[in-house]
Structure 1
Amino acid sequence: MKIFEAMAGLMTDLTAIGKDQKNVQQGFKYRGIDQVYNALHPLLAKHKIFTTPEVLDKTREERTNAKGTVLAFVTMRIKYTFWTDDGSSVSCTVEGEGMDSGDKASNKAMAIAHKYALLQTFCIPTEDMDDPDAQVHEIAPRAKPRVSDQQVEQLRKALTVAGMDEAQWCASVKIPSLESLPEEKFGGAMDYIKKAALAA
């Protein structure tokens, strides 16, 4: 299978691709898809390697940015197969995301997916690559689920039966509204209100 020899030979010839482009909005540096193509194309041709894409999965949804513009957000899972002239091949599967106000969201997702398939398959170095172990992210606690609309109605009816004011009860248990009550406290709240109704 010549594909292994061909890919190893390409990696031997490959040099670093620096992060020479800068994201204007967020200020980080990155390696653009054109940089990757320009560096790899002559080496792919020299070692007789080419790639073919196969879209395995695609999702699309609409999102709105801070300016009110509707954007198409596309996620694709794509399988890239690397071939050489004896028909042998190896494959990798990556995901790409793209967002656009026009018709380019899928194009962007495919470009990102292909770029990272190439970067990771060939382990393309860069002088200023950050290792993931160098970063630590502090994650906020996950918000507890709130009571459902049906549970809110049950609480409201129970308060009415007990002759209790909804706003005053919410203030007594230190919540802004019935809708903000954590789901895990629903049972206790119902028991409390029922006992208050029996005592009235």
Structure 2
Amino acid sequence: MTEKKLIGKLASIIEEIERIPENGFNDFHNYSYATESDIKAVVRKKMAERKLVMIPDVVKEITKQVTTAKGKTENLTTLEIIYYISDGETGESIAFKGIGTGQDSGDKAVYKAQTGALKYALTTLFLIPTGQDPEKEGKPLQPPKRIDEKQVAILEKIIQSVSEITNQEREILEANIHEKTEITTPFDQLNRNEYGTVLNYVNGLKLKAEKKFKKNVIEEPDRKLENKAPLSWGDF
């Protein structure tokens, strides 16, 4: 019975959170996004009202140095985090996994990975929509149209291709794409604007991966495909 109470509380939070404004802006990709602090501010209040707490447990951390296209050395961190949500009234808890990546020339790679993982965990768990407040615009906000199955298939095919070319785990690759584009929406639920951003990014990844792998094959023609090491994100 306690589990049903916890699930009921989580469901009620989903019902109450209508929209979070996009107060952040990505200058490189030229789009707005909801910041971590905006998301936490809304979710924290809803969870506190229901005596719910969320505790992260980092179960895996991989940090390596990569070289950027400009020749700079940066730290790339990938975190696998288990999030535990506990009910202070019933003692019931549930757990789910999140993955985040972060890259920085200083000591902020881990922090960026934690931020990305938490944003993705919260927006996925509570199905949080983002966008401008329709009351600010003075007119109803039309919900963005989601991509269709054909578009999902195209995106999935490109991502899988990049995964195979780079010999990178699919889960880590997807976490990197979410972190780089700052779009936390699951790939099969993207709206058309998000789809354009993600598609452009993964197409760029694919072209760079193909170019890099072709170069490696020319330099090491006798190396077996199955033994090739994963390409680092510094190669992109």
TM range (shorter): 0.5 to 0.7
Tell me the residue number matched to 2:40. 37
Q: Which has the higher contact order (CA 8 A, sep 6+)?
A: 2
Query: Which residue number in structure 2 is paired with residue 115 of structure 1?
Result: 119
Look up the equivalent residue of 1:32 and give its one-letter code. Answer: T
Q: Give 1:181 deviation, angstroms.
A: 8.8
Report the secondary structure of 1:98's partner residue.
strand
Match for 1:91 among 95, 105, 122? Answer: 95
CA distance change for structure 1 residues 128 and 6 in 2, over 3 Å: closer, same or farther? Answer: same
Task: Map residues 77-156 of structure 1 onto 2, 5 A cutoff.
Answer: 77-85=80-88, 86-126=90-130, 127-128=143-144, 131=147, 133=149, 134=151, 136-137=154-155, 139=158
Q: Does 1:74 align with 2:77?
A: yes
TM-score scaled by structure 2? 0.55
Give 3-state SS (helix, strand or coil) of 1:54's partner.
strand
CA distance in 1, matches of 2:55, 2:220: 53
CA deviation after TM superposition for structure 1 residue 20, in Å: 3.9
Q: Secondary structure at the residue paired with 1:15?
A: coil
Distance 1:181 1:70 in 2: 24
Letter in 1 for 2:54: T
**In angstroms, what is the RMSD of aligned CA positions?**
2.9
- Change in Cα spacing, 1:128 to 1:182, as seen in structure 2 (3 Å) is same
Distance (Å, rounded) in 1 between the aligned partners of 2:34 and 2:145: 10
Contact 1:20–1:31 (CA under 8 A) maintained in structure 2: yes
Does the 8 Å CA contact 1:6/1:84 hold for their aligned counterparts? no
Identical counterparts, % of pairs: 26
In the TM superposition, what is the alpha-carbon distance from 1:66 to its structure 2 partner? 2.9
User: Tell me, which stretches of 5 or more residues in structure 1 are unaligned?
Assistant: 144-177, 185-200
Tell me the CA shift for residue 13 of structure 1. Answer: 1.5
- Listed one character per residue, the Cα deviations across residues 52-77 of structure 1 (whole Å, up to 9, x for unaligned) are 01111111111122332211000011
Normalised TM-score (structure 1): 0.65
1:53-102, Cα deviation, whole Å (9 max, x unpaired): 11111111111223322110000110001111121111110100001111
Count of residue pairs the alignment pairs up:
150
Give 1:25 deviation, angstroms. 1.4
Note if contact 1:96-1:109 (Cα within 8 Å) is conserved in structure 2.
Answer: yes
One of 3, 7, 20 as aligned partner of 1:4:
7
Gaps of 5+ in 2: 131-142, 166-216, 224-236
The structure where helix makes up a greater share of residues is: 2
* One-letter amino acid of the structure 2 residue matched with residue 59 of structure 1: I
- The structure having more radius of gyration, on CA atoms, is 1
